[in-house]
Amino acid sequence: MNPSLAPTRSCAGCNLRALKHSLIRIVRTKSGEVTLDLDHKKFGRGAYVCGIECFQIAFKKNKFDYKLRGQVSREDLNSIGQILESNRHIAHSTVLGD
């Protein structure tokens, strides 16, 4: 398999490109709620980060408003941040999970 065909996305925090499935996906659902999408299966516009540090950078720079095409609720982002904070292994397990 040609690795250049593997889908990549840039991280909203550090802007580095990485394999899509190695990143944490944050999605805006049809109802407008912004939530974590650990299985990369939810429909909606997505933003990607490598981990908690990049999530916080993107949060501070309001990158999610841009990436998700509209203002994102601070409460939604705070709760995502708390989940990532208490599950720091998430990023690594998604890297290894595929």
Number of chain residues interacting with Zn ion (CB under 5 A) = 5
CB of 28 or CB of 48, closer to Zn ion? 48
Question: CA dist 8 to 16, 71, 78, 86, Å?
Answer: 10, 25, 26, 26
Q: In which residue are the tokens 């909606």 written?
A: 44
- The window from 33-41, 50-58, 77-85, 88-96 that contacts Zn ion (CB under 5 A) reads 50-58
Interface with Zn ion, residue 50, by CB under 5 A = yes
CB of 53 or CB of 65, closer to Zn ion? 53
